[in-house]
Structures are given as structure tokens and as C-alpha cells.
């Protein structure tokens, strides 16, 4: 073989390796950039989900607090021995009954 032919083939193979390593660097950079973008998008979407879940938790805790207060009121009413007072309260407040000597005044809007 000729010496110039050998050195020429060595130069060509060296150029191919440089081209391959350049393409590999571009692909690796693109892959890293894609991974970073994916990570950022994932983190942002998870933060949005966390905020929604915290809001739901707050609403559920408020409803639980209201339910506990109502449950405590019912427990107090059930444990009291005087049911007559409770029945009177319901009759006056919810059903609109009045005591015999009681006068009720209603506000009527003038037209």
C-alpha cells in the first residue's frame, strides 16, 4: 500500500470520528435540554395540583368543623333531660308558632 493512501484513509476516518462526536454532542445537548424542559413542566403541574389539593383540604376541614359543631349541639340536646324546651324552641323558631299572650309584628313594605 502506498503511504499517502494510508494517511489519507486515516485523515478520513479521523474526520468521521469528529463528525460522529459532533453529532453525539448535539444529540446529548438536545436530550439534556428536553429533560430539563420536561422536569420544569412536571414540577409546575405538580405545584398546581398541590395548591388545588390544599384548597380542597381547607374546605373539607371547614365542613368537618361545622359538622362537629352540629354533632355537639345534637349530642347536647339528646343528653338534656328537658325535651320540652327544645320542642318549644323548634315550634317558635322553625314552625312559626307563638305563645298565647305573645304578639307578633311583621314588617310590611309600603308600595
Taking the model in full, what pTM does it have?
0.49
Number of domains in the chain: 1
How far CA 40 is from CA of 21, 43, 99, in Å, comes to 28, 5, 70
108 belongs to a structural domain: no
Is 63 within a domain?
Answer: yes
Residue 95 C-beta-side C-alpha neighbours within 13 Å: 10
E-only strand ranges, 1-111 = none
Residue 78: domain span? 3-93
Which pLDDT value is given to residue 47?
98
Q: pLDDT tens digits, residue range 41-68?
A: 999 999 999 999 999 999 999 999 999 9
Residue 79 within a domain: yes
Residue 47 maps to a domain: yes
- Within-domain flag for 23: yes
Amino acid at each position: 500500500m502506498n503511504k499517502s493512501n494510508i494517511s489519507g484513509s486515516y485523515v478520513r476516518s479521523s474526520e468521521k470520528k469528529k463528525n460522529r462526536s459532533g453529532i453525539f454532542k448535539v444529540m446529548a445537548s438536545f436530550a439534556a435540554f428536553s429533560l430539563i424542559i420536561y422536569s420544569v413542566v412536571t414540577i409546575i403541574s405538580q405545584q398546581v395540583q398541590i395548591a388545588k389539593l390544599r384548597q380542597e383540604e381547607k374546605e373539607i376541614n371547614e365542613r368537618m368543623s361545622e359538622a362537629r359543631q352540629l354533632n355537639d349541639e345534637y349530642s347536647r340536646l339528646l343528653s338534656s333531660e328537658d325535651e320540652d324546651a327544645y320542642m318549644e324552641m323548634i315550634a317558635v323558631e322553625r314552625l312559626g308558632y307563638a305563645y298565647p299572650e305573645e304578639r307578633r309584628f311583621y314588617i310590611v313594605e309600603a308600595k
